[in-house]
Structure 1
Amino acid sequence: MDSKLYHFFYESLHSHDDVQKLSEKYNVCCGTLSSILNQKVVEDVKKSHYRFKRKEDKLVKEWRGGQSFLTLSRKYNYPSTLISTIVLENLGHSKKEIRTFYKNPKAAENARLQNELIESLNADYFFSPRAHQLQEEKGRIGENIISFWLKKKHFDFTCEDEMRAEGHAGKTPDFLLRKSVKINGREICWIESKALFGELKEHRHYEKKQFKEYADCFGEGIVVYWFGFETDILNEKDDRYTIIDSDFFKKDVPEHVNKFLDYVIYW
């Protein structure tokens, strides 16, 4: 996806309602648009977090005045789970206690907190424990497809957990091929799965923290951005790895890939 189109979608996505509308209008899979929306929300929160924290006294006052976590979330356009965290911390609850409340809202001390926690956690598709759980599941599905594909091709490989068990120190890719194989004309030694859209800024972070180190340690590799990527990445990436998306796997495991492309984190 060229950068102009990516930024169009980035600016057009405000909620999950927009995901379905834009998907139908522009024939782009829901998983790609959902991934872009998630990255946008996370980036917006990072930019505004410290500025927003300065409002915490006002938030607590408004909450004490009867406005719920979800009402405040909609009022300030800020994730409801993070609103509840700010209020609960100001009420004197520790991070451990708050984690307990998120796992079991009924553990909170009164009915109001219990009901508002249930309401706000169910409405937060980005920062709630359920959203994080689904994001992790999304990552596992992408890795499972690659594992299935590698086995189908009869390639000998080891996965990240096995590498650690074998004593590999430092950072390890999701898959290490025990013997290099020729893919797209290159001798590939490792594969890294990213169950997201490859946005340029985030890609630069991953390249610095992961991809270059994999290339240094293991040789040439492949990075899979399952939900597509900005084509500008190809103009500046390290030459020691190739970037692909879901299209690469469609011809071999179409039933797995097509289902994955519609994966969205909302309920």
Structure 2
Amino acid sequence: MAKNTATAGDKAAKKKILSSVEYARICQFVNGYHGNLAIDCELEMVNRFFIDVEPLALICILQSELFNKARGQHWRHEQRSKKLLQTYEDQCQLYNDNALLIRMACVEGMSPIALCRIILQEKYELKQRPHVSRLLKYPHLINDPRLAANVQQCLYSDNQEGPVTDLRRRIVGEEYEVKLKHLAREAGIHFYDEQDLRRMGYDKTPDIKMILPFLYRGSVVNWIESKANFGDPKGHKWNIQQQLQSYCNRFGPGIVIYWFGYHEETPQLPDNNIGITVLTDFPARDDLVFMQLN
């Protein structure tokens, strides 16, 4: 694959809206990357092969592709749990370090945390996922010091799943919700947030619901949803089914912002015809028209 090049002084904005060809090329790179951790793949993508693309878009695409891949292979790894545990214990006899599980994960084509789950589940005969999750969150509770050290190393090395990664994603999501509210106030928009709406008795709520609707390029906007993510067509359709459709049914048309960008086909999907506008940033002030009350 040809590498992209850029001069040191090139500070142009990174691409957020990807064509079908660009998106397919990135997915192909992810699915063809083997033998290293996902963080290595991420660094290759961001720093060498796709340097003109928004880094957070690349990270989201990587996450989505690896999630789909892992979901398809999970049952195979589960069936090999006894063999994987035996391999780990054999390696413990040969090497005295804390990176055994990481090396195994690279060889097996698994995320380190996924391998940790299987090893812990098999070793301690844990049937319920919350019990495994507790050991992952608190490795010091594992009574095998070597295994505890290996699990802890995996927690710091896995950028796709695990309690550390979950916390990071939650913080990023909240950061962009705060950004949305800040930009809305700057634009002079008055709104209810999720807490306000829940107090009013709504269960599924957008991030902000306008007290008075406004027009964006001639279209009525009643709500805005913040997504600290990349909007690929499949993920966007899922968001419509799980959230956005109910917002349209209850409140009318609105906007979803994919802060890290989207696939060029996402805004054109017929599914959006229920009243959904897809953007990559907060609407420009010049595109907004507010109701005059006086």
TM-score, scaled to structure 2: 0.79
- Matched residues, percent identical? 21
Q: Distance in 1 between matches of 2:281 and 2:189?
A: 19
Equivalent positions of 1:42-57 (< 5 A) are 42-57=67-82
Per-residue CA deviation, residues 176-229 of structure 1 (Å, 9 max, x unaligned), is: 111101123211001111111111111111112211111111001001111111
Please tell me whether the aligned partners of residues 88 and 101 of structure 2 are also in contact (alpha carbons under 8 angstroms). yes
Q: Distance in 2 between matches of 1:51 and 1:124?
A: 21
The aligned residue for residue 280 of structure 2 is: 245
Q: Distance in 2 between matches of 1:124 and 1:232?
A: 31
- 2:234 corresponds to 1:201: yes
Give structure 2 stretches of 5+ with no counterpart.
1-17, 34-40, 93-99, 287-294
Q: Which deviates more from structure 2 when the two are superposed, residues 65-74 or residues 122-131? A: 65-74
Please tell me whether the aligned partners of residues 190 and 210 of structure 2 are also in contact (alpha carbons under 8 angstroms). yes
Please tell me whether the aligned partners of residues 27 and 61 of structure 2 are also in contact (alpha carbons under 8 angstroms). yes
Distance verdict in 2 for CA 1:19–1:141, change over 3 Å: farther
> Which amino acid counterpart does residue 64 of structure 1 have in structure 2?
E
- 2:23 corresponds to 1:6: yes
Aligned length: 249
Give structure 1 stretches of 5+ with no counterpart.
252-267
Please tell me whether the aligned partners of residues 183 and 282 of structure 2 are also in contact (alpha carbons under 8 angstroms). no
Q: Distance in 1 between matches of 2:46 and 2:285?
A: 23
- The structure showing larger relative contact order (alpha-carbon pairs under 8 Å, at least 6 residues apart) is 1
> Which amino acid counterpart does residue 17 of structure 1 have in structure 2?
L
CA RMSD in angstroms comes to: 2.0
CA drift at 1:244: 0.2
Please tell me whether the aligned partners of residues 207 and 224 of structure 2 are also in contact (alpha carbons under 8 angstroms). yes
> Which amino acid counterpart does residue 10 of structure 1 have in structure 2?
C
Please tell me whether the aligned partners of residues 180 and 282 of structure 2 are also in contact (alpha carbons under 8 angstroms). no
SS state of the match for residue 67, structure 2? Answer: helix
Equivalent positions of 1:1-267 (< 5 A) are 1-13=18-30, 14=33, 15-22=41-48, 26-66=51-91, 68-91=100-123, 92-93=125-126, 95-169=129-203, 171-236=204-269, 237-239=271-273, 240-246=275-281, 248=283
Distance verdict in 2 for CA 1:250–1:65, change over 3 Å: farther
Per-residue CA deviation, residues 120-179 of structure 1 (Å, 9 max, x unaligned), is: 11111011211111111111111111100111112111111221122113x211111111
TM-score, scaled to structure 1: 0.86
Per-residue CA deviation, residues 54-97 of structure 1 (Å, 9 max, x unaligned), is: 22121111112126321221111101111111111112245444
The structure with the larger Rg is 2
SS state of the match for residue 65, structure 1? Answer: helix
